[in-house]
Amino acid sequence: MERTTTGTVRGLLRGLAAGEALGAASPGAGGVLRHGVAAQLACASAEGLLRAGTGTDPVAEVHAAYRRWSQRYRAFAASGPSLLHEDRGPSGATSRALATGAAGTLRDPLTTSAGWHAVVRALPVAALGLTEDGADSAVALTAARTAVLTHGHVTAAPAGIAALVAAAALRGTPLTGAVGHALAAAVLAGLDARAVWAADAAVRAAHRTPGDPQLAEVLGGGPACTGVLAAAVYAVLSHPREPRLALRLALTAPRAAGAGALAGAWLGAAHGPEALPARVDVADVLDALADRLTDGVGGRRGA
């Protein structure tokens, strides 16, 4: 299959949803996976990015989209009721923060939560990196700012790194190079060094001892936001050319839904939507959003 930008953005969103669902053990009827909360929040992130016009702060639009999601509205639905209106599990930190109406910032986070939803939902920000020049800083800082809208400062750097890996993969960089590029860009963007160290430890572990579920478990410990980042890095670098093996390894991590969502998104971005053949119940919605992100957000960056 020919690799296209739209195809890889579709792969990112499909891989995120599939990885989360597999990690949460959420099969649906006929072998179709039931999407989870992180997939819904990622769709809200995409909506916010799409609503942001030239000169508009995309993070403000993302926060507005999260608030609509918290009320179970979805203005970007094509027509009729959507599966994304459904309650698909706990999202306590996000929902409690959104209920206040306030928005956290990098200087003044709203909460101290270290939950991984803040990292995974930032992945659509990678669409800002569909052009090379000057994109890394925008990707890193925008993703970090979306994380602290509802979560603690500790989530900012993992969200930025996760989006940077995805952005590099969308531009066609193999995952081994994408991770290295992301860590260097995270340092230049001034993201918290602790997250960079956690991801770098996973890089070194994958080089020394790839494919070890016990290492995935160890690396995935600690705060949820850095744990899922490290476990996903270890998994995709253990099997960078074998998406199914990489995802299977990510799913052995302690927070399997989060690590699976991150690894699945990166693998889909790098290898396309058919790399992970698992079917997700909202695949059509994800594909439509992917195409709009490519034409809208990516188009604005390239204009």
Q: For residue range 174-201, list pLDDT tens digits in order.
A: 999 999 999 999 999 999 999 999 999 9
pLDDT in tens, 14-51: 999 999 999 998 666 678 999 999 999 999 999 999 99
pLDDT at 90: 53
* SS3 assignment, position 280: strand
**Across residues 252-281, what is the average pLDDT?**
94
Given a contact cutoff of 8 angstroms between Cβ atoms, the answer to whether 199 and 230 are in contact is yes
Match 């602290």 to its residue by tokens: 148
d(CA 87, CA 122): 20
Residue holding tokens 């579709």? 10
Full domain range(s) for residue 9 = 5-302
Number of domains in the chain: 1
CA 139/CA 165 separation, integer angstroms: 10
Question: What is the model's pTM?
Answer: 0.92
Tell me the pLDDT tens digit for each residue of 144-174: 999 999 999 999 999 999 999 999 999 999 9
Neighbours of 279 (CB within 10 A): 14
Q: What is the distance between the alpha carbons of residues 46 and 68, in angstroms, rounded to a whole number? A: 13
CA distances from 233 to 88, 183, 236, 274 (A): 26, 11, 5, 21
Distance CA 3, CA 170 (A): 10
Map tokens 């099969």 to a residue: 27
Question: Could you tell me the CATH number of the domain that includes residue 256?
Answer: 1.10.4080.10
Element (H, E) at 198: helix 193-208
